[in-house]
Structure 1
Amino acid sequence: MTTDTHTDAPDTPPLAPLHCMLRAEPGPPRLAALPTGTPVWVLTRHADVRQALAHPDLGRAALYAPDAPPITLTPNILDDPSSMLNSDGPDHQAIRRTVQRAFTPRAIERWRPWVDGVVRELVDDLAGSGSPAEVIGALTKPLPVRVISRLMELEGLDVERISWWSDHALSTTAYTAEEVGAALREFGAFGYQLVQARRKNPGEDLVSSLVQAADQTGGVTEEQLTSLTIGLVIAGHETTMTSFGNALVYLLDPQHDAAWRRIGTDLSAATAATEQLLRTVPLGDRTSGPGALRRATADLEIGGVTIPAGAVVAADMITANADPEVYPPGPLDLFAPLGTPSLTFGAGPHHCLGAWLARMELELGLHHLARVLPGLRLAAPVEEIEWRTGLVTRSPQRLEVAW
């Protein structure tokens, strides 16, 4: 088995539009290296990635054990050992139980009328401002911030402050370790004060319910509760903002005019397109790493290859989401049913809690924007888009549109 020392597709332009990004070829597990030099087994086939994400002997906590090799050059919020993300087994379930009831499909569906109203208001404001307009600042960023702020009763919190915290929290190379550390300490202080305030004066919001559940069930430390709270602030808006902006880059290409109009006239078409876009348009790229990392706590076999205990594994969900053994190759049919669930939100015990909320915001955002502005188009060539780089996710910094 040869060692591949870089993990991105070799001829992928580093700043290419994300929807044009070349993927690796799915194949057996292969040995590569992280930017730190640590060996990593990269999984690219859908079946292998799904198996790894659900395997009890592949965990996140082991990545931060005393004997763990270095996995990142500049740690960010994803490297917090106290977070729900980096716990496994009973510890993970204890933390997850404090929040998962608020994010079931049924619970999220109760928010649909309110989310629909927020989307309509923002889209009408955008249309009323006249053409041309900048759609990131007017719609894709404020929509998820307003939704998570309402869920957590954070109305009045500065959108730019949330973005500043989020960019530092998810930085890979955009900021120094000192800058990331300072931002996370400030963000953590905000989260701690919020937890204390809701414990003293509980309300009907998500933070109050988290505090009450944690206090009643026990087993969740104050540090974990704070980490969970600030993690929800970021996760509650980052995925939707990134997906929405990237989807618009794809959909506003002139070749998709008919699809754009269909999304505006048929909500079910917007729902189907959302699933296909989440599968095919990546949230990020592989410049910061080859996939979602896990570490083996015992010898195991994946894809016909033995992964030794202690080895680091990377689940390349971007490539797995295009595995021709699972999804039809060739031109994308935006409105085809997704026969096999994508791995965009992960799988297994760490499956993203906010997946249904992100789906709802994206499908409603696309539907109402296409309904009100069926002639929407990019106001400048796609090659001129300025991208957010050096972060875990990548999407347009600004996106000028016209109609």
Structure 2
Amino acid sequence: MTTEHRQAPEAPLVPLHCLRHAEPGPPRLAALPTGTPVWLCTRHADVRQVLTDPRIGRAPLYAPDAPPITVIPNILDDPDSMLNSDGPEHQRVRRTVQRAFTPRAIGRWRPWVAAAVEELIDRLEDAGSPAEIIGSYSRPLPVAVISRLMDLDGLDLERLGHWSDHALSATAYSAEEIATAMREFGQFGYQLVTARRKEPGDDLVSSLVRAADQTGGVTEEQLTSLVCGLVVAGHETTMTTLGNALVYLLGEDRTAWQRIGADPEAVTLATEQILRTIPLGDADTSPGLLRRTLAEVEIGGVTIPAGAVVAADATAANHDPAVYPAGTADLFAPVGTPSLTFGAGPHHCLGAWLARMELELALHTLARRLPGLRLAEPVEAIRWRQGLLTRSPLALEVAW
């Protein structure tokens, strides 16, 4: 489903759980790949302030006087999307979807997510050991979930992978290639919205259309962008996190794998620690969650001028020893202070609870049914998806 990106003939990439992260400290000046100055925030308290302070927003990044922040724009750079709006405009669009993603609503989806997990493991076992687990498990699971959620039976997985890779491209594709893919993706989203308006059902897209029509003020373009964003986020981040978690658990922490399969409560704790400690991508593709100041603001004792670009490094913040003194020593220790993996404040990820549920079920059920699962190749031999904002294995050979 996913394009095999070019591999540089250099030393093998290290797994994401082995990456060095920035040491938390006061905000400091750095530069984006475009050359634009950026204030890099790495401490937990500072990153949280950047994400919650109303004087720092996403919309100013796309104001007429804004400096360039990306070399090649992708789906995150759509100035009309919910992601890049703030205040009442953001809340109006967000209200159309947030009720569908409450913990109670997601709890009702648990039985069919569990059934999808069991079915994929059945197929994995039937195919026999050894096996390639990315294409047979970590990739199709979130696609199955988002397809069920949006009633997208028969969704072309290759097509979805093509759109997703281009949507989150950093350096893998040209501006023309990304623009072409995003036009196709937008047409898909628009046709889906139009179809659900004509023949509504019980799926998420139908509920979004109804909520948007009832609320008012949500344009067709915003609704289409919202649907496309949910399709990408609903499969890309879970696929990436699950694949990277398997690299860690099957390659380094065999005792944890046994406990995850035996104890449903342990997998809840482990999932939170995995989400906190394993980033979605490399720091060189993105220094953090970008924002821009609307006014002069003090962050961590440093005065940041109005109109400045700020990067909230959630990876560094999630390792801040002032907040998480145990580091990564205990996979089953309660996290305590919530991590910033899903952001914070008005732009906190709507799908956070769904991602947690998918990861918990995927890891617990797989470890319970295949307690002897192990990597069938050295970590150094893993081929990675590169050139995107996220990084995960292209393939992962396992045996049991």
Could you say which TM-score interval applies, normalised by the shorter chain?
Answer: over 0.9
Match of 1:214 in 2: 212
1:63 to 61, 82, 87: 61
Report deviation, 1:331. 4.6
Match of 2:7 in 1: none
1:114-152 CA distance string (max 9 Å, x none): 111110111121122111100000010100001011110
Q: 1:321 to 1:330 in 2, by over 3 A?
A: closer
Specify the code of the residue in structure 2 equivalent to 1:305. Answer: V
Specify the code of the residue in structure 1 equivalent to 2:75. Answer: I
Report deviation, 1:329. 3.7
CA contact (8 A) 1:240 1:362 kept: yes
Match of 2:128 in 1: 130
Match of 2:84 in 1: 86
C-alpha distance in 1 between matches for 2:32 and 2:12: 17
Q: 1:213 to 1:331 in 2, by over 3 A?
A: closer
Match of 1:312 in 2: 309
Give structure 2 stretches of 5+ with no counterpart: 1-10
C-alpha distance in 2 between matches for 1:332 and 1:229: 39
Report deviation, 1:198. 0.6
Describe how 1:254-273 pairs up with structure 2 within 5 A: 255-273=252-270
CA contact (8 A) 2:139 2:239 kept: yes
1:99 is paired with a residue of what secondary structure? helix
CA contact (8 A) 2:342 2:348 kept: yes
Match of 2:272 in 1: 275
1:68 is paired with a residue of what secondary structure? coil
Match of 1:41 in 2: 39
Report deviation, 1:160. 1.6
The alignment status of 1:387 with 2:387, answered yes or no, reads no
Specify the code of the residue in structure 2 equivalent to 1:306. Answer: T
C-alpha distance in 2 between matches for 1:368 and 1:289: 33
Q: Which moved more, 1:180-189 or 1:120-129?
A: 120-129
Match of 1:109 in 2: 107
Describe how 1:1-400 pairs up with structure 2 within 5 A: 15-253=13-251, 255-400=252-397
CA contact (8 A) 1:272 1:335 kept: yes
1:24 is paired with a residue of what secondary structure? coil
4+ long deviations beyond 4 Å: none
TM superposition score normalised by structure 1: 0.96
1:260-280 CA distance string (max 9 Å, x none): 011001111111100000000
TM superposition score normalised by structure 2: 0.96
1:53-77 CA distance string (max 9 Å, x none): 0010110010000000000000000
CA contact (8 A) 1:36 1:72 kept: yes
Q: Which moved more, 1:133-142 or 1:121-130?
A: 121-130
C-alpha distance in 2 between matches for 1:122 and 1:313: 42
C-alpha distance in 1 between matches for 2:169 and 2:340: 23
Give structure 1 stretches of 5+ with no counterpart: 1-12
2:169 is paired with a residue of what secondary structure? coil
Report deviation, 1:330. 4.7
Specify the code of the residue in structure 2 equivalent to 1:285. Answer: D
2:311 is paired with a residue of what secondary structure? strand
C-alpha distance in 1 between matches for 2:264 and 2:125: 20
C-alpha distance in 2 between matches for 1:225 and 1:265: 43
1:363-394 CA distance string (max 9 Å, x none): 10000110111011111000111111110111
CA contact (8 A) 2:27 2:302 kept: yes
Report deviation, 1:289. 2.2
2:265 is paired with a residue of what secondary structure? helix
Aligned residues: 391
1:89-122 CA distance string (max 9 Å, x none): 0000000000000000110011111111110111
1:252 is paired with a residue of what secondary structure? helix
C-alpha distance in 1 between matches for 2:88 and 2:296: 21
C-alpha distance in 2 between matches for 1:331 and 1:242: 20
C-alpha distance in 2 between matches for 1:35 and 1:69: 12
Report deviation, 1:14. 7.8
C-alpha distance in 2 between matches for 1:124 and 1:99: 33
Match of 1:8 in 2: none
Q: 1:14 to 1:377 in 2, by over 3 A?
A: closer
C-alpha distance in 2 between matches for 1:76 and 1:133: 34
Report deviation, 1:286. 1.0
C-alpha distance in 2 between matches for 1:368 and 1:124: 11
CA contact (8 A) 1:25 1:319 kept: yes
C-alpha distance in 2 between matches for 1:28 and 1:127: 51
1:277-330 CA distance string (max 9 Å, x none): 000011111112210000001111000001111000000001100000000245
C-alpha distance in 1 between matches for 2:201 and 2:363: 32
CA contact (8 A) 1:127 1:372 kept: no
2:38 is paired with a residue of what secondary structure? strand
Taking every aligned residue pair, what percent have the same amino acid on both sides?
A: 75
1:204 is paired with a residue of what secondary structure? coil
